[in-house]
Amino acid sequence: MSPDVTTIRQALRENDGEPEGPARNARAERLLAEAEQTGDAALVIEALTHQLQVYNYSSEKDKMFVPFARLLRMWDERPGDFGDFMTHHLFWMFKWVSSSMVDQPHIPLAAIEKWQSEMEHRYRLAGHSERAVCQGELEIARHLGDLPRAERAYAAWQAADRDRMANCHACELHEQGSWQAQLGLDAEALETWAPVLGGEHTCAHEPHAVLAASLLPLLRIGRSEQARAHHLRGYRMVRSMESMRNAAAQHIEFCALTGNEARALEIIAERPAYFTDSGNPGSLMDYLAVTALLMDRLTSLGHGGQSVPGPAGTDWTASSLAVHARTRALELAARFDERNGTARVGTLVRERLDRRPLLDRLPLGVRAARLAAPDRKPDAAPTPGAAPAAAQAPRGLAGLLAEARRLSEAQHPAAGPAWEAVSHRVAEPDGGAAGLSDHDRACVEDHRAMYGSLPPAEAMAAFEAAAGLYAAAGDPGEAAAAAGRAKYARALEPGGADEALAGIAPVVDRALALHADGAATARQASAVLMCRARVLGRLVQDAPDEAAAESAVAGLEQGARELLAFTEPLRAEAGVASRIAEALELLGDVAAYRGDPHGALERYERAAAETNAAGLPWYAVECEAKASGLAAQLEEYERAESAARAALEHGASFVPARGRARLHLRLAEILVGTGQFAEAAEQALDAAHWADESGESATLGVHARHQLGGWLLRLDRAAEAAAVLETVLPDITSAEHGDGMVVQTLWWLGDALTALHEPREAAEHWLKAADIARGWPEQHDHAMLANLAAQALYRAGLDPQAELAYARAGELWRELGDVPALVRTLRVRAWIAIREGQPGPGAARAFMASAARECEAALASGPADGAPRLLAELADTHRQTGELIAHVCQGEPGEAPEYEEALGYVDRAVAGFTEAGAGFVGLRTAAELMAAWLEADLDRPEAARERARKVLELHGAGEPDESDEERRAEAEALLDYVARRTGPPGARGPAAGGATPPR
């Protein structure tokens, strides 16, 4: 038995709401077959129209032409079967079919021109404006590269009147801006697109497509921050849409040209079918072109051998996919050019393939997997920082040694890499080590231990070897310093600090004696004192209990003071300033340990000032970072911000990526303390970038992105916040990051999705968060999350799930003793009960009655200071009860007794709000206006007028705010309605409409 007409129509409506893709298309085909079996011509027309629509919004656009030709033939034969609505659809879809032909190289150009003329002819006969026809003419001309024809078409399009057949405002503005961008007018294009980007004009594919189209124009005019925001917002919108392959290609291209190759790879991996979907060869060509662009970029960076996602059935590397994608893109371009008789398409594809990066790196804030290690070193690797200029780049061992010594004497951070280069050269078979002097070999061993990341035992052996070689070379001061470093290395071994402290004592005596005799410099002697202080610091870290720690701290303080006493009088000597700074930093650590943040802060700031004054700003970074943290704790935010900015400035050229991430995050958190959320978000973005660069995406990067998402949300940048927070979820776990951080991430994401009108997804995240919070001792967050999830489910129309969630939230509010929150859940459950498929008006009234009883019981037993709020909640319950009764009433307003009952409840609401006090005037007048409309419906004009006048009187004093203006406007409208009595029977004002769940 075949389905009836009603069932098929319902199925067509349901299928229209399904996600784009082959499954929806296949169902549309089955429904057409079923419609044909009914013999109902109007239903067949509906089914054909639906089929054409789902093909248009899918990867099978090449299937559009057959059903459209059939519809057109049916129109020509029996136009009376269509009706006004389907007639409009037929002419509307003419535009889709005509423009889609351009992207099908197998359709001859003559056929495209014929269809364009046919559209023009039929639109003219039907009395439609030529505006849509001119837009189609522009698309053909642009495709062919016929600039004069395009300019004529554009001018005619803009001059023609808009009518019902014109494309929507959003699509028209997209096309206009695209034309301007093609002419190189990027700023003008962005201005044209502004109403779409701002949400003034939208449609099924906008602003999705405009967001993607705007990416490169924004980069070209230097608005990279906005480009990043458009990528984050736009890609979320197109990610699940099969028909948006061209927009996805633009996002891939943007990533490839901004140093975000890993992000581009992830986008490609999400839809492997984009490589094989052949229903729109034009967008396939574009997708293959940007894929080749990306793979060429990866290959140039040394990742040609990396495994990459690509067409199914083959294992691809970046270099092999580059060849494949480039070849196929150019083959498709050649087919278009052969069809068109021009070289336009091939030229555009080659220009796209040859594009060069617009930015070296634009941090996006979303995580992307790190690229594998390069197959070879890139041609120009970044350096850790600019070192003081040398005469020329050293090449041989002697030159490397000279450069390393020069940097060490300058105390520059580049000395470490320079000594590593020396060590590598010495280790080579022909590196020239045999010709080194004892002093040279001592320097190599000494610095290999300093910078070679050796285990403590190996470092100690290397320092001891260096000490022996220095002594043999006649440099007792440097021998003592190396011996001191050896003892510190011993302290780094488990349980080695006590032995190290005992062993370094004679080294200190020897160094001081050498200095007194002029055989050791102040730098060498202070190095030994510094090593002793560091050993004492290890004793603090290793202390087994509080008493031992106190003793160790006292020892550290003494050692630091002795270092300071030795160095301060000698501050003018080379290399001593950094020792003074370290002594002050250690004394700051002592103060911090003893609970004296002010003293610690003062010492850290003095230490930073010492190194800055000596022209060694890189030594100040650690102290500036510590100072910023302490100042923030003391809520001295200006001081904290200054120190954090200094640390970032001084460390920018040499601090490793992980350290830079932490510095940016520290500054971000300080900025939040003073409400500077916009710059805080920028700093968190940089923190996330450097965390990724350091390989800590899943640890430090998670924290940075978590904060970034929250601050973007605070800035009302919900789309960006959602994109960032969604990339946090796969990496964040309760075990690693704690339940609180997981719940906060889910909570923020729910807030962001709600702002983006995605209530179902928001509810999913809030429910997950609520399940975690269920086990917390304090249940307020659990209740709030359950309530938020219920609201989202209500907005999504998921009534049974919303009812369950509100019931859960209500019980939690009851346990917490929050009667107003409990009452609100009961009222919303009442409104759910009258929705389709729910229990109905009887259950709804029972919920309202239960809400009233809860308020009355709380008023009878609660403290007087809570009475106004409870009175207002009771009054609002009466108001909503009256509204609900009127809403479900089946009779005519002047005759139905339910309206009298509703009015009685609303009168009780007015009285309740009045008793609650002056803080509830707005709610009182809203109830008064509702009562006035009910009076008017009951044909009591004088009573209605009296209530309206009372509202005007209550809102007439003082400077009116927005609420006053709304109430006054409604009261005036009611008075006008009563005076004219021209409205239809039963007409009611906005106060008697449906309810939305309170927050």
Per residue in 776-812, is it b (16+ CB within 10 Å) or e — as a string? Answer: eeebebbbbbbbbbbbbbbbbebbebbbebbebbbeb
Tokens for 831, please give them. 């409104």
Among the listed residues 647, 66, 110, the one whose alpha carbon sits nearest the alpha carbon of residue 339: 110
What was the pLDDT predicted at 388? Answer: 53
Alpha-carbon gap, residue 247 to 262, rounded angstroms: 18
**Is pLDDT at 502 greater than 70 in this prediction?**
yes
Query: Tokens 């609002």 belong to which residue?
Result: 876
Per-residue pLDDT of 388-411, as tens digits, reads 554 444 468 889 999 999 999 989
Per-residue pLDDT of 595-631, as tens digits, reads 999 999 999 999 999 999 999 999 999 999 999 999 9
What was the pLDDT predicted at 958? Answer: 57
Among the listed residues 97, 187, 170, 192, the one whose alpha carbon sits nearest the alpha carbon of residue 139: 97
Determine contact, residues 262/225, Cβ cutoff 8 Å.
no
What was the pLDDT predicted at 957? Answer: 61
Per-residue pLDDT of 232-256, as tens digits, reads 999 999 999 999 999 999 999 999 9
**Is pLDDT at 728 greater than 70 in this prediction?**
yes
- How far, rounded to the nearest angstrom, does the alpha carbon of residue 491 sit from its chain's CA centroid? 45
Backbone phi and psi for residue 307, each to the nearest 5 degrees, phi listed first: -70, 135
Tokens for 40, please give them. 């109902």
**Is pLDDT at 982 greater than 50 in this prediction?**
no
User: Side chain identity at 54, as an amino acid letter?
Assistant: V
Per-residue pLDDT of 639-672, as tens digits, reads 999 999 999 999 988 899 999 999 999 999 999 9
Start-end of H helices in 434-475: 438-451, 456-472
Start-end of H helices in 198-280: 208-213, 215-220, 224-238, 245-256, 261-270
Average pLDDT over residues 90-109: 93
At residue 166, the 3 state secondary structure works out as coil
Alpha-carbon gap, residue 740 to 958, rounded angstroms: 46
Average pLDDT over residues 39-45: 94
At residue 302, the 3 state secondary structure works out as coil
What was the pLDDT predicted at 403? Answer: 93
Determine contact, residues 696/665, Cβ cutoff 8 Å.
no
What was the pLDDT predicted at 755? Answer: 96
Average pLDDT over residues 843-863: 94
Average pLDDT over residues 436-458: 92
CA torsion sign for 57, 61, 63, 67 is positive
Alpha-carbon gap, residue 834 to 836, rounded angstroms: 7
Alpha-carbon gap, residue 562 to 585, rounded angstroms: 14
At residue 105, the 3 state secondary structure works out as coil
DSSP tag of 303: -
**Is pLDDT at 514 greater than 70 in this prediction?**
yes
Residue 317: its H or E element: strand 316-317
Tokens for 460, please give them. 């100690």
Alpha-carbon gap, residue 909 to 634, rounded angstroms: 50
What was the pLDDT predicted at 961? Answer: 64
Tokens for 269, please give them. 């991996």
Determine contact, residues 540/553, Cβ cutoff 8 Å.
yes
What was the pLDDT predicted at 995? Answer: 38
**Is pLDDT at 353 greater than 50 in this prediction?**
yes
Q: Please enumerate in sequence order all residues whose Cβ is within 8 A of that of 876, keeping only pairs 6 or more positions apart, or say none.
A: 827, 909, 913, 923
Average pLDDT over residues 823-830: 97
Instruction: Among 366-375, 740-749, 841-850, name the one with the lowest average pLDDT.
Output: 366-375
Give one DSSP letter per residue of 573-630, joined into a string: STT-HHHHHHHHHHHHHHHHHTT-HHHHHHHHHHHHHHHHHTT-GGGGHHHHHHHHHH
Determine contact, residues 447/473, Cβ cutoff 8 Å.
no
Residue 350: its H or E element: helix 344-353
At residue 316, the 3 state secondary structure works out as strand
**Is pLDDT at 492 greater than 70 in this prediction?**
yes
What was the pLDDT predicted at 305? Answer: 94
CA end-to-end span of the chain, whole Å? 49
Tokens for 933, please give them. 């409309």
Tokens for 148, please give them. 């004069």
What was the pLDDT predicted at 212? Answer: 97
pLDDT mean across residues, the chain: 91
At residue 307, the 3 state secondary structure works out as strand
**Is pLDDT at 133 greater than 60 in this prediction?**
yes
What was the pLDDT predicted at 988? Answer: 44
What was the pLDDT predicted at 426? Answer: 87
Per-residue pLDDT of 735-779, as tens digits, reads 999 999 999 999 999 999 999 999 999 999 999 999 999 999 999
Alpha-carbon gap, residue 676 to 674, rounded angstroms: 6
Residue 132: its H or E element: helix 131-144
Tokens for 839, please give them. 């229990």
- Give, in degrees to the nearest 5, the angle at Cα 22 between 20 and 25: 80
Per-residue pLDDT of 149-175, as tens digits, reads 999 999 999 999 999 999 999 999 999
Alpha-carbon gap, residue 925 to 915, rounded angstroms: 13
Among the listed residues 436, 402, 437, the one whose alpha carbon sits nearest the alpha carbon of residue 419: 402
